[in-house]
Amino acid sequence: MHLFETWNSEEALSHLISLVVAYLLALPIGWNREREERSAGLRTFPLVSMAACGFVMIAIEVLSVGSEQHSRILEGLITGIGFVGGGAILKQGDRARGTATAASLWATGAMGAAVGYGQLDIAVILSLVTVFTLVVLTPLRKVVQEHSSFDDDAA
Report how far apart, in Å, the C-alpha atoms of 143 and of each of 5, 99, 151 are. Answer: 61, 18, 12
Give residue 44's domain range: 9-154
- Indicate the pTM of the whole model: 0.83
CA–CA dist 148, 22 (Å, integer): 38
4 in any annotated domain:
no
- pLDDT tens sequence for the chain (155 residues): 577 777 888 999 999 999 999 999 999 999 999 888 777 888 999 999 999 999 999 999 888 777 788 888 889 999 998 888 888 888 777 887 888 889 999 999 999 999 999 999 999 999 999 999 999 887 777 777 777 665 555 55
3 in any annotated domain:
no
CA–CA dist 133, 59 (Å, integer): 31
| Enclosing H/E stretch for 153 | helix 120-154
1 in any annotated domain:
no
The number of domains in the chain is: 1
Which of 38, 7, 45, 52 lies closest to 24 in space, CA to CA? 45
